[in-house]
Amino acid sequence: MKAGEFSSKGILLNVATTYLFVSPLVVYAEITTVWAVCWTGVLVWGVTFAAAPWGWKRPNPYSDQAHLRRPGNAWVAVGVVLLLCLNQPAYLLLGKDAVAGVMGNAWLCEAANAAVGIASRANLRKAGVATPNATFGKIDVFLPPSEGRKRIGIVYFHGGAWTMGSRSRGAPVLGFLARQAGVVGFSASYRLTSGLESAGLKGCVEDAVAAVEWVRERADEFGVDRVVAMGDGSGGFLALSVADRVAAVVVSWPAVTIEPDAWFGDPGESFFVPDRATDRDRFLADDVFAAKFLLFGRRARGWLPPVYDPDVVDAHSLFSRLRRLPRRKSLPPVLVLSATDDAVVPFGQLLLFEREYNRRGDLSLIAFDSAVHGGGAYMARAGRDAILRFLAYHRLLDPNAPRSPDDPALDKLAAILRAKHDYPNTTSFSPRTKHSRGGIVHVPPLDLSSS
């Protein structure tokens, strides 16, 4: 049989080439694993070359198929596969944007998060930030320089809109607190809503609870007598979600609600909601919380846009949980470090939460004037001093610990981030700083305006 479409060589090459185009879809749909696809590909191409050796003679198996020799057709085929992998047809037809389609692709999210993690760790190395003393599974441990009596353990949860980030982000603040306050730091990973093992917001909260329980079970091993939760951004949400299991909570730029009508507060603007949105609450629910944050999980393995689930909101929103608490239920003290010009988590949202929390507990809210998301807080000397004062006020620190707010590594990291992201050099508190009875009892600016 002459070489051509129906020759044995042509059939084998058709099968092998088709496999190359189909395999990304098989992997994306999570029908099997990447390793299974790779090994199957090796087998398919091995059989192809074994049956049709390298010494092929001209004409090649496709010599009588002129349409396959047009370069444009190859690019069209590649474009179709990429379009399908990015979920764009279903998302765009249903009125969602391209970003939501990309977020539906777990593999792309994993790759993007890995790239961001490489850049983040490079910044940490450049600044000379402390590395963990030990790692246990998905938890990095930072130990104080000297042994002492029982001390607190701080469990940290990183930010990243529940979809990005890694536990390496806890190194700067936990390294500082281990050295300067004698605490044991634990930076915990959790299942991201964008990851392959995602279970939505429910999975994030479950992992946060598991991390705190892991530390409590091993308290004697690490010399810990009480546990404090800490987090940034969405990690702050998780730290507040485990407030009933810890002695205190310290959070920076935290998201404190997933209820659309409480997201903005007053005043409030959000980076995630464009001016063109006519119904901001509906846009937040469908296009941000569901489609971009993936708080309610993926639908049809990411092929269809996810939908807003009010039951998940009612179960996990901090506002709804506070409203269900008995009036006499005791809550741990909370310190919130925030930014007045935060366009990611609106400052007005935190004012609403402060009012609600202080009906049942003690929350101190400190706002850094003109700071943006990621600015101020423990990245400034004033914020670090506030954290130390808060912990000392509630008798959570060893009185013999040095408790100095100075940290050259954190100052250098802050300078690197300011240079890269054009953050303002914010070191003072806002005149709108709220001081409740939670421990920061000085009159603003707390004598901490120097950096």
Mind listing the pLDDT tens digit for each residue in 141-154? Answer: 999 887 767 788 99
Question: What is residue 362's predicted lDDT score, i.e. its pLDDT?
Answer: 86
Question: What is residue 425's predicted lDDT score, i.e. its pLDDT?
Answer: 45
Q: Of 37-41, 235-239, 281-285, give the lowest mean pLDDT range.
A: 37-41
Q: How confident is the model at residue 217 (pLDDT cuts 50, 70, 90)?
A: very high
Tokens 């930014």 identify what position? 339
309 CB-near residues (< 8 Å, 6+ apart): 290, 296
Q: What pairs with residue 230 in β-bridges?
A: 156, 250
* Tens digit of each residue's pLDDT (9 = 90 or more) over 319-346: 888 888 776 667 899 999 988 888 888 8
Q: Taking residues 88-98, what's their average pLDDT?
A: 60
Q: What are the DSSP E strand ranges found in 241-313? A: 248-252
**Inter-residue contact 381 to 405 (CB < 8 Å):** yes
* Tens digit of each residue's pLDDT (9 = 90 or more) over 158-172: 998 998 888 888 888
Determine which helix (DSSP H) or strand (DSSP E) holds 311, and give its type and residue range: helix 310-316
Question: What is residue 15's predicted lDDT score, i.e. its pLDDT?
Answer: 78
**Inter-residue contact 172 to 121 (CB < 8 Å):** no
Q: What pairs with residue 299 in β-bridges?
A: 304
How many residues are there in the chain? 451
Burial 235-265 (b: 16+ CB within 10 A, else e): bbbbbbbbbebbbbbbbbbbbbbbbbebbbb
Determine which helix (DSSP H) or strand (DSSP E) holds 122, and give its type and residue range: helix 106-127
Give the global pTM: 0.76
Query: Taking 50 as the threshold, does the pLDDT of residue 377 lie above it?
Result: yes
Which of the two residues, 221 and 412, has the higher pLDDT score?
221
Rounded-to-integer distance, Cα 80 and Cα 89, Å: 10
Rounded-to-integer distance, Cα 293 and Cα 272, Å: 10
Q: Of 89-93, 289-293, 322-326, 348-352, give the lowest mean pLDDT range.
A: 89-93
Query: Taking 70 as the threshold, does the pLDDT of residue 264 lie above it?
Result: yes
